[in-house]
Amino acid sequence: MDLILILIIILIPIYAQIKVTSSYHKYSMKDNSRNISGKDVARMILDKNGLENVSIGEIGGELSDHYNPTSKHINLSSGIYSGTSVASVAVAAHECGHAIQDKENYGFLRFRTAMVPIVNFTSRFATIFIFLGFFLEVINLVDIGILLLLVGLFFQLITLPVEFDASKRAKEELKKCGLIENNDVKGTNKVLNAAAFTYVASFLAMALQVVRLILISRDNN
């Protein structure tokens, strides 16, 4: 049973990453019908929503794109920032979805942002408590580590509606602003759905890891 759980925990994120990478690479090779860059798409969507104060910058890496609600800044990876592919449009619009959430005080985004420093703390110490608990054979330490992991699991659960809602807003804004043609819709949906699945996969993998640790802890009581 333990071996099966370990394999599932390992394979789910790997499958999700393969899926998102495959979709991204496929549609990063296909130019969007408007031949417009991710940066320009983001600027148009932001301006249409009264978000002229939100800046856009370029960062390194692949699929490292994110919105910072504190600095009101969208970071787009190089391929998205200057690229004119279907994937560039989809990812840039998704990040604008987060900016719109921020403007509208979307509850889940506010809650997730507030949890970031807490999760940074709990995730750092969860592994330490679990390792020491098993090494010293003190199950109470393992249980503390599990509780800290549950905080991270809850954070990932809150992340799901934030990401799905941002993708929904992205699709709506692309249509509303006339930035997407009918022959781009399928690719846009594929990229956004694959990206959303990575968050579902991360949540499931972490949930199974917590279940596995709980079972081990109970067996040692």
List the catalytic residue out of 52, 62, 95, 181.
95
Cα separation, 98 vs 192, whole angstroms: 13
Residue 105 buriedness (CB in 10 A; 0-12 / 13-18 / 19+): exposed
For residue 133, the tally of other CB atoms under 10 A from its CB is: 21
Q: Which segments of the chain does DSSP mark as H helices, in order?
A: 2-28, 38-48, 78-81, 86-103, 107-136, 139-176, 182-219
Q: State which H helix or E strand residue 68 sits in.
A: strand 66-68
Q: Are 179 and 219 in contact (CB under 8 A)?
A: no
Q: In the annotation, is 95 catalytic? A: yes
Active site residues: 95
